[in-house]
């Protein structure tokens, strides 16, 4: 999941092809449907991204009572309005009266707290929860930003790798070599420095035991001379999320696909090429869809279509994850150069689940 920042952005305004009274305000590569004539290209306005939960007074001010998503009708979600995908909200709330919007945009001021906006946190099913313990040795995962919000993360022509983004739940495993100890966590618990105590009923522990991940991690640590190895994977199947990839996590066991590996070597944590390290087939990997020069149109094309995990194109694809061929830092996001692109069909599907 991406980080939540509510910022002022400079807009590019486009005609709405199917509505005379509406226009499209572009932020990055996102487009949000707005009333016609309110904004012109070059204007500054607040952008509230998807997954933001709005307070009641702001919802009322924006005229959105009863029109947002979630049980409280307070969550911003991608929707199609007159045939056009609208992602996020563009507005100028009263609370920003007197604010120099151009300066706020230049400085990247985050108005999340000032406006009482919070990030939506998916509910945690019982099978994904459990007793936890402090885990200072757990190697952390990172939030992945959407390429449409930060299109400058990659340079045109830069060598990149695109892997399929699976709709499951992220499983974090850290092997601590000195103690021959395994820590297992979810993305949510891991972000708090917590690990799940082993329980045969827990989804994550069932996955790592069922796919012999601790043994593979121990071999990697020995091979790399690493003090810690982190293996990050998607756990999926029926009973996990609404997209199941022809796998039933409740009967045959959860599916498991590695999307990243990190290792602490000589006191430094490094991100490594999972496909290269696990070329022996010891652990299943997320499908690699493309290797070559970065091209935004190619990325957006591959983000759509059908999934490739089941081998039967059982349902739509969630999207893709983009990485540079050589791991590097990105000044655009102030951290690791990695991004995602999500399928519009996935964003607007009916009855979808979004457990973390």
pLDDT at 138 over 70: yes
Kindly report the number of other CB atoms within 10 A of residue 188's CB atom.
18
What's the pLDDT band for 141 if we cut at 50, 70, 90?
very high
List domains and CATH numbers for the chain.
7-119 (2.40.50), 126-347 (3.30.470.30)
What was the pLDDT predicted at 124? Answer: 67
What's the pLDDT band for 127 if we cut at 50, 70, 90?
low
What was the pLDDT predicted at 1? Answer: 59
Average pLDDT rounded to a whole number, residues 55-77: 95
pLDDT at 9 over 90: yes
What was the pLDDT predicted at 350? Answer: 86
What's the pLDDT band for 356 if we cut at 50, 70, 90?
low
What's the pLDDT band for 122 if we cut at 50, 70, 90?
confident
Q: Which two tokens stand for residue 242?
A: 């609404």
Least confident of 129-138, 181-190, 344-353: 344-353
Average pLDDT rounded to a whole number, residues 35-60: 97
Percent of the chain clearing pLDDT 90 (strictly above)? 90
What was the pLDDT predicted at 214? Answer: 98
pLDDT at 21 over 90: yes
What's the pLDDT band for 2 if we cut at 50, 70, 90?
confident
Least confident of 159-173, 175-189, 339-353: 339-353
Average pLDDT rounded to a whole number, residues 98-103: 96
Give the mean pLDDT of the chain. 94
pLDDT at 40 over 90: yes
Higher pLDDT, 294 or 123: 294
What was the pLDDT predicted at 251? Answer: 85
What's the pLDDT band for 129 if we cut at 50, 70, 90?
confident
Average pLDDT rounded to a whole number, residues 147-156: 95
Residue 112 neighbours by CB under 8 Å, 6+ apart: 4, 5, 6, 52, 118
d(CA 73, CA 59): 9
Residue 178: φ, ψ to 5°: -60, -30
What was the pLDDT predicted at 355? Answer: 65
Average pLDDT rounded to a whole number, residues 241-250: 91
Listed residue (347, 350, 315) closest to 236, CA to CA: 315
What's the pLDDT band for 326 if we cut at 50, 70, 90?
very high
Listed residue (202, 193, 177) closest to 133, CA to CA: 193
HEC string of the chain equals CCCCCCEEEECEEEECCCCCCEEEEEECCEEEEEECCCCCCCCEEEEECCCEECCHHHHHHCCCCCCCECCCCCECCCEEECCEEECCEEECCHHHCCCCHHHHHHHCCCCCCCCCCEECCCCCCHHHCCCEEECCCCCCCCCCEECCCCHHHCCCCCEEEEEEECCCEEEEEEEEHHHCEEEEEEHHHHCCCEEECCCCCCHHHHHHHHCCHHHHHHHHHHHHCCCEEEEEEEEECECCECCCCCCECCCCCCEEEEEEEEEEECCEEEEECHHHHCCCCCCCECCEEEEEECCHHHHHHHCCCECCCCCCCCCECCEEEEEECCCCEECCCCEECCEEEECHHHHCCCCCCCCC
- Angle, to 10 degrees, between the axis of helix 213-224 and the axis of helix 203-210? 60
What was the pLDDT predicted at 265? Answer: 97
Average pLDDT rounded to a whole number, residues 140-162: 95
């Amino acid at each position: 999941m991406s980080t939540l920042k509510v910022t002022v952005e400079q807009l590019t305004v486009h005609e709405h092809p199917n509505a005379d009274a509406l226009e499209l305000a572009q932020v990055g590569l996102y487009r949000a449907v707005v009333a016609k004539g309110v904004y012109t290209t070059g204007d500054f306005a607040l952008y509230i991204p998807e997954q933001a939960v709005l307070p009641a007074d702001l919802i009322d001010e924006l005229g959105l009572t009863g029109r947002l998503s979630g049980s409280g009708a307070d969550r911003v979600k991608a929707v199609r309005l007159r045939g056009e995908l609208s992602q996020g909200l563009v507005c100028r709330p009263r609370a920003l009266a007197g604010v120099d919007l151009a300066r706020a945009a230049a400085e990247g001021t985050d108005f999340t707290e000032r406006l009482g906006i919070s990030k939506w946190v998916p509910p945690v099913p019982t099978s994904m929860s459990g007793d936890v313990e402090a885990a200072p040795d757990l190697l952390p995962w990172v939030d992945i930003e959407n390429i449409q919000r930060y299109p400058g993360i990659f340079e045109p022509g830069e060598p990149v790798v695109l892997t399929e983004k699976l709709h499951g739940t992220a499983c974090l495993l850290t092997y601590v070599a000195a103690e021959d100890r395994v820590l297992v966590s979810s993305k949510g618990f891991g972000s708090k420095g917590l690990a799940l105590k082993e329980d045969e009923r827990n989804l994550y522990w069932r996955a790592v035991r069922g796919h012999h991940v601790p043994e593979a991690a121990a071999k990697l640590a020995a091979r790399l001379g690493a003090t810690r190895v982190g293996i990050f994977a998607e756990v999926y199947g029926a009973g996990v999320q609404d997209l199941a990839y022809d796998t039933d996590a409740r009967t045959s066991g959860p599916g498991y696909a590695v999307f990243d590996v990190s290792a602490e070597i000589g006191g430094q944590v490094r991100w490594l090429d999972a496909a290269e390290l696990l070329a022996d087939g010891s652990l299943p990997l997320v499908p690699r869809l493309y290797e070559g020069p970065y091209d935004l149109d190619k990325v957006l094309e591959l983000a759509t279509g059908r999934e490739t995990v089941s081998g039967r194109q059982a349902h739509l694809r969630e999207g893709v994850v983009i990485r540079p061929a050589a791991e590097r830092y990105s000044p655009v996001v102030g951290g690791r150069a990695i991004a995602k692109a999500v399928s519009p069909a996935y964003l607007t599907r009916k009855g979808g689940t979004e457990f973390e």
